[in-house]
Amino acid sequence: MGGAAALEKLIPVLLAFGAGVLLARRKVVPAEASKAFADYAFLFAVPCYLFGNIYAANLSALFDWRAIGGYAAAAALAVVAVAAVSAAAGLRDPRAVALRVMAGVQVNTAYFAVPVFITFFGTAAPIFPVLLFQVCVLSLVVIAIMELGRPGPGAGGPARRLGRAVSASLVTPLVLACNAGILLNLLSVHVPRVVLDGAAFVGDSASPVALFALGLHLGGMGLDVRGTTREELALIGFKCLLFPLLAWAVCGGLFGVRGEWLTYLVLIAAMPTPQNLFIFAQRYDVGVDLSAAVVIKSSVISLLLLPLWLQTVAS
């Protein structure tokens, strides 16, 4: 896909995202409303989209184990790299290190990758296996570290904290929808057409609503470029540039992934830091300001770099 074609495909993304920014900046729509829009997308619209599409998908083609293995290997190397650099910088709190690992390695699937993939490729199916890996493995590890490191007498023992971490990861609407779609698909259970049509109707709203919510959030918080710290620059640079290049090298060079799947994996790796980073930071009271800055700024940088990645990987 050439640069001009990529820019044309990007117009709907910019329209939904930019409208949110503009309306929030002009106070036509309060920035606080972004949470309501985001909750609708995260808790309802995106799960509906995922369930319907996974149920109807060819799972043997969807779960390309060489591609998934390559992405998992690239993510593991990225985790080690971010953790090592954080430790070398003097961070000793495991929760602070885990937060930075999440900032540098995890991707914004629900609010960013899904709408972008729908816009560019007409489907978000390639995101499903990576989403499951991210939520069921990467997020589980981060939440476990956060729970085990949580101070205070009310936090409970290690077993109770680990149980909370596992349950919190596995009962999110995104994971439940994916697992339900996979299970019913494998068992060849008949789902009434009216249910699938309803899921498709709601799921079609996921892309614009998620991008609009992200724009509202950005428009309300603002973007302080001059106040960007070296640590923020390092995390954003790793997330938006080094991690996609690492995914490209590992998936293409070591695992032999070619064609569309290589494009998909590099683009997924190039997605910004997820909003969940800020939610985790608030919940566990660690790196709140850093998290907010990285989420917002990586979203802007990723959006600007999308045409470049598309043209580079597809060429």
Sign of CA dihedral 57, 63, 67, 70: positive
- The residues, any chain, with a CB within 8 Å of residue 253's CB and separated by 6 or more, are none
Query: Per mean pLDDT, which range of 14-18, 112-116, 264-268, 279-283 is the poorest?
Result: 279-283
* Predicted local distance difference test score (pLDDT) of residue 76: 95
- Cα separation, 119 vs 265, in Å, equals 16
Q: Quick one: pLDDT band at residue 57, thresholds 50, 70, 90?
A: confident
Per the rule left: phi > 0, alpha: psi between -120 and 50, beta: everything else, 81 is alpha
DSSP assignment of the chain = --HHHHHHHHHHHHHHHHHHHHHHHTTSS-GGGHHHHHHHIIIIIHHHHHHHHHHHS-HHHH--HHHHHHHHHHHHHHHHHHHHHHHHTT---HHHHHHHHHHHH---IIIIIHHHHHHHHS--TTHHHHHHHIIIIIIHHHHHHHHHT--SGGG--HHHHHHHHHHHHHTSHHHHHHHHHHHHHHTTPPPPHHHHHHHHHHHTTHHHHHHHHHHHHHHHH---STT--HHHHHHHHIIIIIHHHHHHIIIIIIS---HHHHHHHHHHHTSPPPTHHHHHHHHHTSSHHHHHHHHHHHHHHHHHHHHHHHHHHH-
* Predicted local distance difference test score (pLDDT) of residue 231: 92
* Predicted local distance difference test score (pLDDT) of residue 100: 93
C-beta of residue 251 within 8 angstroms of C-beta of residue 312:
no
- Cα separation, 299 vs 27, in Å, equals 21
Q: How far apart are the first and last CA of the chain?
A: 7
Instruction: Give the rounded percent of residues in the chain with a pLDDT score beyond 90.
Output: 32
* Predicted local distance difference test score (pLDDT) of residue 259: 87
Q: At what angle do helices 94-105 and 65-88 cross, to 10 degrees?
A: 140
Q: State pLDDT tens for residues 147-173.
A: 776 665 555 666 776 676 677 667 778
* Predicted local distance difference test score (pLDDT) of residue 38: 80
* Predicted local distance difference test score (pLDDT) of residue 165: 65
Q: State pLDDT tens for residues 183-213.
A: 999 999 999 999 999 999 998 888 788 788 8
Q: Name which of 144, 179, 142 is nearest 50 in CA terms.
A: 179
* Predicted local distance difference test score (pLDDT) of residue 202: 94
Average of per-residue pLDDT across 124-130:
84
Whole-number average pLDDT of the chain: 84
- Cα separation, 36 vs 262, in Å, equals 35
190: which 2 tokens? Answer: 């008949």
Q: Quick one: pLDDT band at residue 48, thresholds 50, 70, 90?
A: very high
Q: What is the dihedral of CA 171, 177, 181, 184, to 10 degrees?
A: 50
Average of per-residue pLDDT across 222-251:
89
- Using the predicted structure, report yes or no on whether residue 273 has a pLDDT greater than 80: yes
**Cα 200 → chain centroid:** 21
Residue predicted with more confidence, 211 or 90: 90
